[in-house]
Amino acid sequence: MSADQQDVDAIVASLNLEEIDRNLYRGHPPYWERGRLFGGIVAAQALAAAYGTIEDIHVHSLHSYFLRPGDPEIPVIYDVDRIRDGRSFATRRVVARQRGEAIYNLSASFHKVEEGFDHQADMPDVAAPADAPSPADFGLTPRDYLPSLWALDGVPIEIRNFHGPDDWQPGVHQRNMWIRANGTVPDDPTTHRLMLTYLSDLTLLGTAVRMHAKDFEHIMAASLDHAIWFHRPFRADEWLLYSTTAPSASGARGFNIGHFFTEDGTLVASAVQEGLMRDISPR
């Protein structure tokens, strides 16, 4: 087994939560988490906890708030509230806690598959993953695209970014990159939704930041809220174009929208996030 596959397996294992009582679950982060928990893992585990109370129905949207930084050295407790079970829809609320305090709050809606109207926006015209720049083309390693707090031996995500570290254009509010799990994910559709939830927290806030700064060196940044809509089936271990825009920044907050497309141009999910982006440059 390759090291990359072991990293993907570590994420999948972290999404298999321990049920400690009815509606109550315990989650542990992957081994590479350091300093503070990556928001994507808390969001994915919270959704996994909600799924623990659902049968034969899939999430179509989630809305959430990051309340406090998470500590990777201790487990996270997920408390699920079964708000509603209807004939077509179900709703769950999940509160993630550490040391008795809420660090994350999620509401998720689940919908039984049914037929209906269908249309979508077009995918941006970009090079295919095989023709997109690799990290080496920019003098980087795969690790350079991942959170700096992660340990150096965890590379669970593969990225083909069209924008290098020196390709900074102030005022450009759209960015595109190809992204996928860096290994094989089990066939269960639920796991792929959880994995996309994990992936969706990468680079989204950075879209707004890069409108104003080359990097995060003098920016205090943190995700404040996060929402995802799941439109169509997909696999998280196949290339997805993550096309992000930052329509607004004001009041020390940046607003970001992202769309996920498969290689054939199918729009499979959309994400929205507002984040703190406070200028702490020396005066």
- Residue tagged active-site, from 107, 200, 223, 270: 223
Q: For residue 23, give the nearest of 79, 75, 65 by alpha carbon.
A: 79
Q: How far is CA 82 from the centre of its chain?
A: 24
> Is 125 part of the annotated catalytic residue set?
no
> Is 5 part of the annotated catalytic residue set?
no
C-alpha to C-alpha distance for 262 and 281, rounded to whole angstroms: 39
C-alpha to C-alpha distance for 191 and 82, rounded to whole angstroms: 21
Distances (CA, A) of 98 to 80, 94, 104, 252: 15, 13, 10, 27
- Residue tagged active-site, from 200, 201, 243, 270: 201
**Residue ranges with strand state E in the chain:** 18-21, 24-27, 58-66, 76-85, 89-98, 101-111, 157-161, 174-181, 219-230, 240-250, 253-262, 267-279
Report pLDDT for 154. Answer: 74
| Residues with pLDDT less than 70, the chain | 1, 165-172
Residue 279: Cβ within 10 Å count: 11
Q: Whole-model pTM above 0.85?
A: yes
* HSE of 18, CA atoms in CB hemisphere, 13 A: 8
Tokens standing for residue 267? 């729009």
Q: For residue 93, give the nearest of 74, 76, 103, 79 by alpha carbon.
A: 79
Report pLDDT for 22. Answer: 97
| Structure confidence by residue, pLDDT tens digits, 265-274 | 999 999 999 9
DSSP H helix total and E strand total for the chain: 4, 12
In order of start, what are the domains of the chain with their CATH numbers? 3-112+129-279 (2.40.160.210)
Tokens standing for residue 195? 């994995």
Residue 232: Cβ within 10 Å count: 12
- Per-residue exposure over 122-152, b if at least 16 CB sit within 10 Å of its own CB, e if not: ebeebeebeebbebeebebeeeebbbeebee
| Structure confidence by residue, pLDDT tens digits, 180-199 | 999 999 999 999 999 999 99
Report pLDDT for 164. Answer: 73
C-alpha to C-alpha distance for 276 and 227, rounded to whole angstroms: 16
> Is 201 part of the annotated catalytic residue set?
yes
- Residue tagged active-site, from 45, 64, 98, 273: 273
